[in-house]
Amino acid sequence: MSINVTDANALADQLRSCDAQLSQAKNRLREYQGAISAHWQSDETALINKAIDLAIADINAAISRLNPISSEIKDAARQISREEAAAEGDRSSGAKNKGNTKG
């Protein structure tokens, strides 16, 4: 069974889409944080802002892990495809050479 480079690229593109969605979520959290700070003054505000900061840090960590994975998937799929093509070429050459031997 050979690798399907198109499927691998589609998966990598889905990861990039997740990256974009995480960035949007992070931006919305920052907007909520700003709105809370502007419109709500209480002791809890600092705790809420700290929780939002932690969530943003988690999102940033996820984004930094996703970015290289997408490229690695595409690179690996291309490399495997090249190796499969080379192996198929070797098998084809071997079969031709076997048919050409006199015995």
The domains of the chain, with CATH numbers, are 5-95 (1.10.287)
Residue 101 confidence (pLDDT): 55
Q: Is the pLDDT of residue 58 over 90?
A: yes
For 71-77, which contacts have Cβ atoms below 8 Å and span 24 or more sequence positions?
A: 71/12, 73/8, 73/9, 73/11, 73/12, 73/15, 74/8, 74/9, 74/12, 76/8, 77/3, 77/5, 77/8, 77/9
Q: Quick one: pLDDT band at residue 93, thresholds 50, 70, 90?
A: confident
> What's at 38, amino acid-wise?
A
In the prediction, which pLDDT does 89 show? 82
CB-count exposure of residue 54 (10 Å: 0-12, 13-18, 19+): exposed
Percent of the chain with pLDDT over 90: 62
**Rounded distance between C-alpha atoms, residue 31 and residue 87, angstroms:** 54
pTM above 0.85, yes or no: no
